[in-house]
Structure 1
Amino acid sequence: MSKIVYIVGELNPDVILSGPDVKPEPNKEKLVEHFELTLGSSSAITACVLARLGVEVKFVSIAGNDEYGRYCVEQLNRYGVNTDHVRFTDREKTGVTFSLSNPTDRSLLTYMGTIPLVEPSLIPLDDISSEANHLHFGSFFLQERMKPHWLELFRQFREKGVTTSFDTGYDPRERWDREIIEPLLAHTDYFVPSETEAEHIFGSSDPAELASRLPVERGFVALKRGSKGASLLGPSGAWIDAEAFRVEPIDTTGAGDSFNAGFLYATLHGATPEERLRFASACGALATLRIGGVQGAPTAQEVREFMARRR
């Protein structure tokens, strides 16, 4: 029986400029090696990669009634994501992110537009409760209207047997909202921050120290550690580590979101904690070999073949 995942999130395209030197300098014109217009947003990238892996994904969002909004929905549909719960609005333009990407990192400039307009009234509560296996959201800090509502929503859905997960993304206002995130973790099965995000929220990215700073009542924490791999903290307090797959990155855009998709896929298909971490790490590594978060996203079989070659 097919697994059904609902993803609630922001929706915007990415304009990616990439090359060895993409840092702007005043009063200078610089040349870049690559340009790409592609589907962006943490939530949408996770949705597309997860659908490509073979999971039935239904996306909940809002976009501007403009060419960028329609482009985003077309891209979601192209990768097999159900968009019946995506709404269009004339109140605001679709948000856009400009990604300045080099082989090791990226800088993001975002016009918010419709990104923060996701709100509880858009969420199909009955549908999720009756048919979803899992609920995920990304970009906690950008989905401003949803911040005060996630805890109660997660609590309700878990009572219905729906597992939950989220990824914070970076906080552009650098407030980090620990007072909201800590109680939310009590109703979260899988929390998937990066090292940077964990350090800002909880004061440390060192796994040993982080374990003591996280709330006692929580689910799994999958910590994305870039070139150092990834680590998974279980409810018992023991960490599991996975080394990074060694690749020559082209563009790191969407690597963390692809990790999320791989982790959810492996979890929904009964993998052990060690297998989940390794499969997710492989998805993250493969994402760095393509420009943009979704183009060329692999099937589950392609991920397994990549892992077998690198064993």
Structure 2
Amino acid sequence: MAAGAGNFTVVVAGELNVDIVVSGEEVVPEWNREKIIDGFEVVLGSSSAITACALASLGLDVRFVSVVGDDDFGVFCRAELRRLGVNTDGVTTLPGVKTGVTLSFTTPSDRGLLTYPGSIPLLTPAYIPDALLQEADHLHFGSYYLQDGMRPHWRELFRRVRARGVSTSFDTGWDVRNQWDVAGIRALLEETDLFVPSEDEVTRIFAEPEVDTLLEQLTSTAGLVAVKQGAKGAALRTQDGTVVYAGPYRVSPLDTTGAGDCFNAGIIHGYLLGYRDGELLRYANACGALSTLGIGGTGNLPTVAGVALLQGEQ
């Protein structure tokens, strides 16, 4: 386990893909029509990877575990992770497989995604070395519904690492199959210290449209539940069952891609530092807000100094 107030090791086990970001005011395609867009970028994608890069930007020792295809996109993903300070020794290249790709149609207020899975669902426990987990202070993953190879195994993995004192967190992402696996989520929450879904996701999972009511009913969780609410800020169900809220920071967003993943990084870092309740939520909100000031999920990663500056201004 790491020593020192801020010298934490986080293992992120998750999907890897590139994001091809098409940005502008009018990005929705129309059949048999051509449109001019404002921007086009090929950037590192994946909820897990963006969270990992944001954690590294915040100063943590981050180890990434994943699989990619033996193609140019796989090489790009590994190189971008390393460039952004993430250790990639745990990333395996699979021959004969294509790396996943997400097309992101992004406006200043929202985005829509189209994903080719490729290598995304192929991570399994066999690719996650136990020796690496023994070095961790925290274990995180994103995209619960896309990681088909890991979905049956997360609960046991979380149980094992928590028995060693390692804290755990996960983000669901959107269920493209619209099944939501509420039984699997409830079982996993019994071994989870930080559950960080969006409002749209969590209300679908538990079939309860009101976040307040939903958080009051989530009594089987082992830890905290933080619900990302976009322009409304975020809500947090604390360890004793009370619910606290934090409003958004006032920024002029260029691209919301990755804002939720940077929020995840902020809440993980804050949690490891001992922040709780409103302080924890405000720290995570600031990390998410800073992310929106660049294109792509890693275009403007949060830093400790950047968070302090933003919080000091508002």
TM-score band w.r.t. shorter chain:
over 0.9
Deviations 1:125-184 (A, max 9, x none): 2321x2110000000000011111011111111001100000000011111010100011
Q: Which runs of 5+ in 2 are unaligned?
A: none
Query: Aligned-pair distance for 1:248?
Result: 1.8
Query: Aligned-pair distance for 1:201?
Result: 0.2
Q: Which runs of 5+ in 1 are unaligned?
A: none
Paired residue secondary structure (1:148): coil
Corresponding residue to 1:198 among 198, 202, 227: 202
- Counterpart CA distance in 1 for 2:274 and 2:217 is 29
> TM-score scaled to structure 2, two decimals?
0.96
Query: Aligned-pair distance for 1:211?
Result: 2.1
Corresponding residue to 1:143 among 147, 150, 154: 147
Aligned to 1:45: 50
Aligned to 2:108: 103
Deviations 1:16-42 (A, max 9, x none): 001111111111111110111110000
Instruction: After TM superposition, list the pairs within 5 Å mapping 1:210-289 onto structure 2.
Output: 210-289=214-293
Query: Aligned-pair distance for 1:288?
Result: 1.2
Runs of 4 or more above 3 Å deviation: none
Counterpart check, 1:12 vs 2:17: yes
> TM-score scaled to structure 1, two decimals?
0.97
Say which is worse superposed, 245-254 or 104-113, in terms of deviation. 245-254
Instruction: Return the letter of the residue paired with 1:31.
Output: I
Higher helix proportion: 1
Same amino acid, percent of matched pairs: 50
The alignment of Structure 1 onto Structure 2 pairs a total of residues equal to: 309
Counterpart check, 1:60 vs 2:65: yes
Counterpart check, 1:91 vs 2:107: no
Query: Aligned-pair distance for 1:235?
Result: 2.7
Aligned to 2:78: 73
Aligned to 1:112: 117
- Counterpart CA distance in 2 for 1:217 and 1:286 is 29
Corresponding residue to 1:301 among 300, 305, 313: 305
Query: Aligned-pair distance for 1:47?
Result: 0.2
Say which is worse superposed, 152-161 or 243-252, in terms of deviation. 243-252
Paired residue secondary structure (2:172): coil
- Counterpart CA distance in 2 for 1:180 and 1:194 is 17
Verify the 8 A CA contact 1:182 1:215 in the aligned structure 2: no
Say which is worse superposed, 110-119 or 208-217, in terms of deviation. 208-217
Query: Aligned-pair distance for 1:215?
Result: 4.0
Corresponding residue to 2:126 among 117, 121, 126: 121
Say which is worse superposed, 134-143 or 21-30, in terms of deviation. 21-30
- Counterpart CA distance in 1 for 2:82 and 2:172 is 25
Counterpart check, 1:32 vs 2:37: yes
